[in-house]
Amino acid sequence: MPAAKPSQASIGNTIKAIISSGMTPGAVHVAADGGFRVEISCGLENVSPAKDLSAANENALDWEEVACK
């Protein structure tokens, strides 16, 4: 007996649910037994660049401090 395949509707509904919850779907992996999983993308597109760089800017050395020593 061949392995079950997930329907296009079940994958589509899962992706729609992920998007409606505010997350970004990444890759869809289909297993040999017909099960599937959807990876959630955790990119930096939702992060403020200023927030990311504030700690780096606080810890950064000024070029004049380094060059003049």
What pLDDT is stored for residue 61 in this prediction? 54
Could you read off the pLDDT of 16-46 as tens digits, one per residue? 999 999 889 989 999 888 899 999 987 655 5
Q: Where are the beta strands (DSSP E) in 8-60?
A: 24-30, 36-41
Query: How far apart are alpha carbons 51 and 18 in whole angstroms?
Result: 26
